[in-house]
Amino acid sequence: MNQLDQLRRYTTVVADTGNFHQLARFAPQDATTNPSLILKAVLHPDCAPLLREAVAARRGEPPDEIADALLVRFGLEILKIIPGRVSTEVDARLSFDCAATVARGLRLIDAYEAAGVARERVLIKIAATWEGIQAAAALERRGIHCNLTLLFAFSQAVACADAGVRLISPFVGRIYDWAKKAAGSGWDEAANAGPADPGVRSVAHIYAYYKKFGIETEIMGASFRSTGQITALAGCDLLTISPELLAALQASEAPLARALDPQAAQAADIHAVTYNESSFRYALNEDAMATEKLAEGIRAFAADASRLDALIAQEAGA
């Protein structure tokens, strides 16, 4: 049995791609997208027609409406292939605007439902800022489930749980990147591998907290740099994995054991905590890694959203 099939015994496998042509090979349950992945996909010849069709169908409408229609179109193609859910992201430029994020989430869900897709098959993806978490809470109260992304800090995970968010996406690889860069020449790769990897340790801590206190929010590890990070989190609720790493897991038959276990989490020495807005902002501010990576992630997704807008404008003027 290859490692991908072994992983499925403990964890729901999710594909992290906007290119729906890559999905069938790996048979994931769910799929996630983001502005960067969609931008990459529309530049691929196999997916480029979706951009042309979205612009043609909505020519003359505001760019943000065309962009959302394009995101949904990709989501619809993905849902034809997978049995589960697709995550579709709200424009990162709205990450600090609660009301606008709610409105955009509602618009995305309306578009999916108009196409005949039940809202249960869609996760609205939102950056885990304080405003984003409150927007997700408002959407969840309406029966619209959310995936809180760009999650780097324990405080973000706790606030998402308190908000009743359906799923969080802690970013393993970007935490690893920050720690390695911060250590400089003192970084010891072997000593920071497997369970000792900083990103893996972050997700394992969140997992233990959620399971110990019976929190129903799903944990989906994301942003992996190696298969070693993935195998070290076998047992996490879900893991969203790039096609390149899915292929690497599929090509390996090395043994893969469960690493995270809900029963073991019950013995964790963790105390329950909660955050209001001020304590959340302070805790996040105290975490230099999380503060920097959250801001960096929002900037990168916003930049790619702007690039997508430019492609839409270029196609509309063609």
CA distances from 13 to 23, 30, 249, 269, 290 (A): 12, 7, 11, 29, 25
Per the residue annotation, which of 125, 211, 212, 293 is the catalytic one?
A: 125
R_g (Cα) of the chain, nearest Å: 19
For 147, counting Cβ atoms within 10 Å of its Cβ (0-12 exposed, 13-18 middle, 19+ buried), the class is buried
d(CA 133, CA 128): 6
Residues 6+ apart with CB under 8 A from 283: 153, 154, 155, 275
Give ∠ CA 263-268-269 in degrees, rounded to 5: 155
Q: Give CA–CA dist 83/42, Å, rounded.
A: 23
293 as an active site residue: the answer is no
Beta bridge partners of 14: 30, 240
Cβ-based neighbours of 192, under 8 Å, separated by 6 or more:
176, 179, 180, 198
The sign of the torsion formed by the CA atoms of 305, 308, 312, 313 equals positive
What CA dihedral angle connects 81, 87, 91 and 92, to 10 degrees? Answer: -130
Is there a contact between 108 and 122 (Cβ–Cβ < 8 Å)?
yes
In sequence order, what E strands does 140-203 have?
A: 146-151, 167-170
Q: Confirm if 256 and 30 have CB atoms less than 8 A apart.
A: no
DSSP string covering 302-318, please? HHHHHHHHHHHHHHHT-
Residue 21's CB: how many other CB atoms inside 10 A? 14
Q: What are the residue numbers of the active site?
A: 125
